[in-house]
Structure 1
């Protein structure tokens, strides 16, 4: 996969010869087409149809974010790997094996939550023990007994609530929150979770774009006309490795500051420009980190692991393989 380019300033994006040009404050910054797979527009950016045609032919995906750091939408070039055969098989798999795959996704979330909390329990956070016990026994039992998507989603929600309840034992006091609030985020921690989850979701959209999979046919989340629901499915098991590890590192190592890196108003809180850049740098460093893959026997990046999970879904669909999602402990 190619590189990611972030645009954090207001300006104009256009085509100049065979390059992409971003113009701000009367100055041009050029983005090479080669080895660029996606562009993130984090501020107000104007562009035209000439550029969109150029981006489409270069298979470059462009993601747009709103003022609050949330995902707004994606310019999705014409699919160059579209496959009717895969789409038909994907729909049949949805009809015949949806609950099985959805359970695998939620069980992956459960396992990765255990992996994350176990790290802090081993480092002296004894208050986490009851939460781990619940995840290992009660959540697993409830998941195994689930008979439909509604019950499976209920288990998923319970797992995330258990994880959020652990923050008071893990994070510095000024970053602890009462509950998860998304639209708009109301405190620094919610702001980082929303921003990090939005970037991860967009990264997953790009990863799936580079496969034969159909973005609209999902298994855990309801297939939707207004969003790439398969990307929601696959991004869930990377939240611990990407979003939350980035947050925990920035907060607990005092790299990010409530007063310096956030803009707070009456009913919302967002990362300011400096805070966004700090967060992006840390997240990208994590995504590009490489380790030995236990099955491939070669070093791969965390970013590549997202695409590998897409290929696992593809094998599940085309070869009736079991889908076993990314595992934080045994992968990266």
Structure 2
């Protein structure tokens, strides 16, 4: 199975015959380099680049031929963009279907409601899991269930986004009851102000790029979305789909690394009005995130085990079938 490679250190990436050579740069000023690492091209699905990277057009041509994406992030852990291989799977028929569903208010609402419905269901699954383990979250569960009854009666995307906001704000109140040793406080994003918020922002960004890559491997166009308003500078369909998987993948990873003390106070870099994961913290979180993606479940419809990573791709296929009128879209819901 192909792997995702994470480049945390600054370095230079080159093609070496049918392999890739990554040479880390030890000192940015002296340009001192360390021993290169050779990566077999057939083992790579994509790169996540957190440090500065030197590469030339020949390298990106090679990556494009091999269908390898490269995702870039700045020093503050913000996603800044991706190099994506040519959209060989894009279909005019699918593009028309996506556009038509977006322009039709009732069709758009149906899809948007499904995204929130799936996200809410998976949020409640998380809360019930920790309720069985002694966390006093029954009041929060009750409040979210009440908010969820309003999803089907929402008459506008704005109203639906308001309901989603109330559900997630209430859900975040449970984090202090689930997580040991750290306090979440109010949700803060740009920049995150404490450790839990830093993990949420970093994990959500990872989930966004995961969904973007899955969309790119189907016929869907990532710029046409239904819950989030399409924007000129973002792939908003990835935001839509990530709503379903953030509780399952991101939040459960956060609970694990904090409650098992895999990530501690020493793994954060705290400066004036911001808190970010340091290099060691990023590596620990990414390792746990990858382990979560590679976990498998017994898929009821397929009758075989599939990974969480593959579930995201299957979600894109289900949405494609809905848009083409083949079957109604049903969001993924945890059933264990």
Shorter-chain TM-score above 0.5: yes
Matches for 1:236-251 after TM superposition, within 5 Å: 236-251=243-258
Q: Could you tell me how far 1:95 is from its partner in structure 2?
A: 2.2
Residue 90 of structure 2 is matched in structure 1 by 82
Q: Could you tell me which of 232, 250, 263 is aligned with 1:256?
A: 263
8 Å CA contact 1:112–1:329 kept in 2: the answer is: no
Residue 294 of structure 2 is matched in structure 1 by 288
> How far apart are the structure 1 equivalents of 2:294 and 2:34?
33
Q: Could you tell me how far 1:320 is from its partner in structure 2?
A: 4.7
Q: SS at 1:34's partner residue?
A: helix
Q: SS at 1:172's partner residue?
A: coil
Q: Could you tell me which of 198, 215, 238 is aligned with 1:191?
A: 198
> How far apart are the structure 1 equivalents of 2:80 and 2:203?
14
Distance 1:321 1:95, change over 3 A: farther
> How far apart are the structure 2 equivalents of 1:320 and 1:299?
24
Q: Determine if the alignment matches structure 1 residue 101 to structure 2 residue 111.
A: yes
8 Å CA contact 2:144–2:171 kept in 1: the answer is: no
Q: Could you tell me which of 7, 31, 36 is aligned with 1:28?
A: 36
Q: SS at 1:299's partner residue?
A: strand
Residue 168 of structure 1 is matched in structure 2 by 176
CA shift digits 1:106-131 (9 cap, x unpaired): 011111111111111122223x1111
CA shift digits 1:65-120 (9 cap, x unpaired): 11122211111121111111111111112223100000010011111111111111
> How far apart are the structure 1 equivalents of 2:123 and 2:197?
18
Q: Determine if the alignment matches structure 1 residue 211 to structure 2 residue 223.
A: no
Q: TM-score, normalised by structure 1?
A: 0.95
8 Å CA contact 1:193–1:244 kept in 2: the answer is: yes
- Structure having greater relative contact order (Cα 8 Å, sep ≥ 6): 1
Aligned length: 326
Q: Could you tell me how far 1:32 is from its partner in structure 2?
A: 1.8
Q: SS at 1:143's partner residue?
A: coil
Structure 2 stretches lacking a partner, 5+ long: 25-32
> How far apart are the structure 2 equivalents of 1:113 and 1:19?
42
Residue 141 of structure 2 is matched in structure 1 by 132
Q: Could you tell me which of 287, 306, 310 is aligned with 2:312?
A: 306
8 Å CA contact 2:77–2:202 kept in 1: the answer is: yes
> How far apart are the structure 2 equivalents of 1:197 and 1:13?
27
Residue 231 of structure 1 is matched in structure 2 by 238
Q: Determine if the alignment matches structure 1 residue 182 to structure 2 residue 189.
A: yes
Deviating 4+ runs (over 4 angstroms):
none
Residue 27 of structure 2 is matched in structure 1 by none
Q: Determine if the alignment matches structure 1 residue 116 to structure 2 residue 126.
A: yes
Q: Could you tell me how far 1:30 is from its partner in structure 2?
A: 1.6
8 Å CA contact 1:7–1:42 kept in 2: the answer is: yes
Residue 13 of structure 2 is matched in structure 1 by 13
Q: Could you tell me how far 1:206 is from its partner in structure 2?
A: 0.9
Q: SS at 2:172's partner residue?
A: helix
RMSD: 1.3
